[in-house]
Amino acid sequence: MESKLQIDKLQIGYVSKKHTTIVYENISVSFTSGMLVGIIGKNGLGKSTLLRTIAGLQDKLQGEINFDGHSLEQLSKQELAKMIAVVLTEKVGGFNLTVTDLVSMGRVPYTNAFNQLKEEDGRIIDECISICGLNEHKLKSVNELSDGLFQKAMIAKGLAQQTTILLLDEPTAYLDFPSKHQLFELLNKVSVEEKKCIITSSHDIELVLKYASHLLIMSENNELEFIEASKYKGSELFKKVTNGYFG
Amino acid sequence: MKGSVKHIFILFGILIIAFSLNVILAGSSVLKPGEINFDDYIFRNIRLSKALTALLCGISLPIAGQILQVLFRNPLAGPYVLGISSASSLFVGIAIMALNGFGVMGYVFFSKTSIILAAFAGSLFCTFLILFVAKKVNSNVFLLLIGLMFGQIFNALESFVEYFSTDKGLREFVMWSFGSLGNSSYTDIAIFSVIGIILIITLFMLTKPFQVFLMGQNYANALGIDFAKYRMYFIIISSLLTALATAFCGPIAFVGLSIPIMTRLIYKTSDQKFQLAACLLLGGITMLVCDTLCYTILPDRVIPINVITTLFGSPFIIYLLFKTRNW
């Protein structure tokens, strides 16, 4: 089953009482399941704003976001939570939260009013923990995890949400090099094997080139290009954004 | 899950023992077996009513504290933060000083009722201020800081009122601010327990969003939980519980902040249903034991409840914190 996330002439930014700040505009692109998309571009261009807008965490200014023909703003928060999972840059932890507790949060959109986990939920949670290689860390407190393991736990939570789309905001930011590799390997595996559409922003361009299937390139002049990752050499914008470093 | 049911039963057992011991020991003399019946004046109108008040107070404050700590994802939060207790104090201060200043007739009756009403009004006033601000701001830390500032303002105003008060008014206010469990009639207790129970049942119906609040605002929203809406509910529940306890017992220190920390350190679970239940039981136990200590430590002398809760509770928290580094 092929799912499609269609973005049309999207304008993103912030609204306050006095003025509207447009961060980026005229974004038209469509993503399908099985893609691993790397969003690249300098800090402050609006990569996070774009991800947050798609996730419904902030309002778009103009344009359309459609998922399999449903306009996203027509969906309730809970319906949206069954379609899109996010991994943000903020830390979660404390209050005795263990890895299993964290991953269980992914089942929240599906549980009853008392958040009771059924057998099926337990099975899904275990499976997501094992896909992300966290079996040994299941009962560890989230506060004790290294940055790399924490990101994996957050991805496991996202998987437990059983959405078609997984959005990640710079998941490799604080990781050491081997962990960055592992993380992208995991994302690649999940996008291929679980047929998910994964969209992640990242500054680790060499890793994005190695593992991602597609690139969404953003620039200061509001230029936008969506290409297959293997064809990066033909892109002028890619050359410009990376200062020609990759040839 | 089975383990947690066992813990709850154990706590419940201890609570009953603490309650009985409190009724028997916490007073001017130890009750004899013959005096433990409902016809006995001291048993009914002094011991039992005081024990019930201690229980209610010990239940409501830690729940209020746990709500605030989860809401702000910060173990430093408690009913004192957000300025709610301070606002109550200020209003009570104004009420006491004003009544003294005007020399109102029927003073004894008026003072009791007016203190309760004033404490309630203060709490609600501050709660509405906080809710008003909460609508405008997104960040929890920002809200916490504003709450602290409100608290500072109320404290300053309180000093101002104290400075201009009569000796008698000041004395009465200071006595109130020590906290007291012994001033409740059965009407008070009925009001306290009915509102308290409704609030706590409501909270238990909302344990799912409460659990998800551990993830913070963005993740809660992304998991389909309307953060802004439930934040409103939780602030209201927590403020009303604080208002009730402060109105009937004065500003009781320590339990609201510390019992939630204690239950987290002891039981090491993130399950909020269990945490809330444990807070409620352990809070009740703590207040009953502290009240018993107030009466039994020194012969013929009663120590103010706030002195005991703070002096015995704080070292225990420090010990737990050192023992469990990973909280």
| Most confident stretch, A100-104, B26-30, B34-38, B172-176 | A100-104
Write out the two tokens for A167. Answer: 């959005």
At A146, the amino acid letter reads S
Name which of B208, B264, B326 is nearest A115 (Cβ-Cβ): B208
User: Rounded to whole angstroms, how far apart are CA atoms A228 and A223?
Assistant: 17
Domain count, chain A: 1
The alpha carbon of B69 is separated from its chain's Cα centroid by a whole number of angstroms, namely: 14
Provide the CA A144 distance to its chain's centre, in angstroms: 24
Does residue B50 belong to the interface with chain A, where contact is any CB pair within 8 Å? no
Residue B187 and residue A128: Cα distance in Å, rounded?
Answer: 55
Residues of B in contact with A114 (CB under 8 A): 207-208, 273
Suggest the residue from B72, B76, B215 to mutate for an interface test with chain A (most A CBs closer than 10 A). B215
Asked whether the predicted pLDDT for residue B110 surpasses 70, the reply is no
What six digits make up the tokens of A136? 């040994």
In a domain, A82, yes or no: yes
Q: How far is B84 from chain A (nearest CA, A)?
A: 24
- Pick from A80-84, B27-31, B260-264: least confident: B27-31
CA–CA–CA angle A90, A91, A96 (5° rounding): 150
- The model's confidence at residue B177, banded by pLDDT at 50, 70 and 90, is confident
**Domain of B307, in residue numbers:** 2-323
In a domain, A113, yes or no: yes
Residue A53 corresponds to which tokens in the numbers above? 């807008």
The reported pLDDT for the residue numbered B102 is 61
> Do B143 and B133 touch, CB atoms closer than 8 A?
yes
Q: Which residues of A touch B205 (CB under 8 A)?
A: 113
The C-alpha of A86 sits at a distance from chain B's nearest C-alpha, in angstroms, of 7
Is A247 contained in some domain? no
User: pLDDT at residue B66 above 60?
Assistant: yes
Helix axes B84-102, B140-163, angle to 10 degrees: 20
Task: Compute the distance between CA of residue B115 and CA of residue B59 in angstroms, rounded to an integer.
Answer: 21
Can you tell me the distance from the alpha carbon of A190 to that of B218, in angstroms, rounded to the nearest whole number?
Answer: 24
* Chain A positions with Cβ closer than 8 Å to B: 55-57, 76-82, 84-86, 88, 90, 92, 94-98, 101, 105-106, 108-109, 111, 113-115, 141, 143-144, 161
Name the domain count of chain B: 1
Query: Residue A40, exposed/middle/buried by CB under 10 A (0-12, 13-18, 19+)?
Result: buried
Closest residue in B to A113 (Cα–Cα): B208
- Chain B residues with CB under 8 Å of A95 CB are 70, 73, 214, 264, 270
B window 161-220, beta carbon within 8 A of A: 205, 207-208, 211-212, 214-216, 218-219
What pLDDT, on the 0 to 100 scale, is given for residue A111? 95
Q: Which chain B residue's Cα is nearest to A158?
A: B223
Tokens 């957000």: give the residue: B82
Select the residue of A98, A109, A144 nearest B270 (Cβ to Cβ). A98
- CB B49 within 8 Å of CB B184: yes
Mean pLDDT of B143-170: 87
Q: Within 13 Å, how many C-alpha atoms sit on residue B262's CB side? A: 24
| Angle, vertex CA B118, rays to CA B62 and CA B60, nearest 5 | 15
Angle between helices B186-205 and B49-71 (to 10 degrees): 30
Supply the CATH number for residue A187's domain.
Answer: 3.40.50.300
**Cα dist. B117→A178, B11, B87, B92, B191 in Å?**
63, 34, 13, 8, 13
Distance, CA of A101 to CA of A116 (rounded, Å): 13
**How many whole angstroms from its chain centre is CA B300?**
28
Which residue would you say has higher pLDDT here, B174 or B198? B198
State yes or no: pLDDT of B89 exceeds 60.
Answer: yes
* Cα R_g (chain A), whole angstroms: 18
Q: Is residue A157 part of a domain?
A: yes
Look at B208 and A111 and tell me if their CB atoms are within 8 Å.
yes
Side by side, the strands of the sheet bearing A70-71 are A20-32, A4-15, A62-67, A70-71
Taking CA atoms, B22 is separated from A101, A214, B308, in Å, by 39, 70, 15
Q: How far is A115 from chain B (nearest CA, A)?
A: 5
Range of the structural domain that residue A51 is part of: 4-241
Contact, B110 vs B104, CB < 8 A? yes
Coil, strand or helix at B176: helix
ipTM: 0.94
Distance CA A73, CA A88 (A): 21
Evaluate whether residue A198 is within a structural domain.
Answer: yes
Q: Which residues contact A59 (CB under 8 A, 6 or more apart)?
A: A15, A53
Interface mutation vs chain A, best among B218, B276, B326, most A CBs within 10 Å: B218
pLDDT digits (tens), chain A, 247 positions: 678 999 999 999 998 888 899 999 999 999 999 999 999 999 989 999 999 999 999 999 999 999 988 898 889 999 999 999 999 998 898 899 999 999 999 999 999 999 999 999 999 999 999 999 999 999 999 999 999 999 999 999 999 999 999 999 999 998 999 999 999 999 999 999 999 999 999 999 999 999 999 999 999 999 999 999 999 988 999 999 998 888 7
Q: What is the mean pLDDT of chain B?
A: 86
The CATH number covering residue B294 comes to 1.10.3470.10
C-alpha distances in angstroms, B14 versus A121, A147, B286, B288?
A: 35, 42, 10, 11
Cα distance between residue B65 and residue B317, in whole Å: 15
B315 close to A (CB below 8 A):
no
Q: What is the DSSP string of chain A?
A: ---EEEEEEEEEEEE-SS-EEEEEEEEEEEEETT-EEEEE--TTSSHHHHHHHHTTSS--SEEEEEETTEEGGGS-HHHHHTTEEEE-SS----TT-BHHHHHHGGGTTTS-TT----HHHHHHHHHHHHHTT-GGGTTSBGGGS-HHHHHHHHHHHHHHTT-SEEEEESTTTT--HHHHHHHHHHHHHHHHHS--EEEEE-S-HHHHHHH-SEEEEE-TTS-EEEEEGGGGGG-HHHHHHTTTTT-
Beta strand A165-169 with A36-40 is unpaired
- Return the amino acid letter for A29: V
